[in-house]
Amino acid sequence: MIVWVNGAFGSGKSTLVDELRARWPDGLVYDPEMVGYVLREIVEVPTGDFQDLRLWRRQVASLAVGLVEEYRRPVLVPMTLVNSDYVGEIFGALKDAGIDVHHFFLEVSRKVLEERIDGRSFTPDKPDQDERVRRWCKERIEPCMAAAGTLPSDTVFLNGELTPQELAGQVLARVGTEAVR
């Protein structure tokens, strides 16, 4: 089983996955951004967004399938994925492999997203780069919010302004597992 936590940058995906992992020790945390970072070291990313690389999408799906098949444990994925073609490609590959995908989307107001992004430090030793990353994240708020209507029909929308504990309880109830703590 895969639990994919989606939403805009700053919506709380990683925080929710951390809370899920604390309550669900069997869960493996898989961050597809790592695949993007590796690819960025090897090949040029002409658009600047590694999700635009077909290889990224193929590798994300392939590694997720491998983790589920090899370790027979739930996989928790915190990743913004809002391009409907890319969602279809990745989730289609997962479903073709016979893997149950539980897709959650964290809905958060623009104001809260901006506050959260402004409160984060991405590269503390490089303030100029930090500001560029913040701008990049903020530029993607609107497309992320607009894409919510294009996500698969079985997507579960959650109020991302709830506490991580409340959200984790909702996710665990939906996927039918009991929290350890």
Local confidence band at 181 (pLDDT 50, 70, 90 cut-offs): very low
CA 96 to chain centre: 20
Encode pLDDT of 16-55 as tens digits: 999 999 999 999 999 999 999 999 999 999 998 999 999 9
C-alpha–C-alpha distance, residues 159 and 171, integer Å: 12
Residues 27 and 19 sit within 8 Å (Cβ to Cβ): no
Q: Kindly report the CA angle at 167 between 74 and 18, in degrees rounded to 5?
A: 50
- Domains in the chain and their CATH numbers? 2-170 (3.40.50.300)
Encode pLDDT of 132-176 as tens digits: 888 988 998 999 999 989 999 999 999 999 999 999 999 999 998
Question: To the nearest 10°, the Cα dihedral for 63, 68, 70, 71?
Answer: 120
Strand duo 28-29 + 156-159: pairing: unpaired
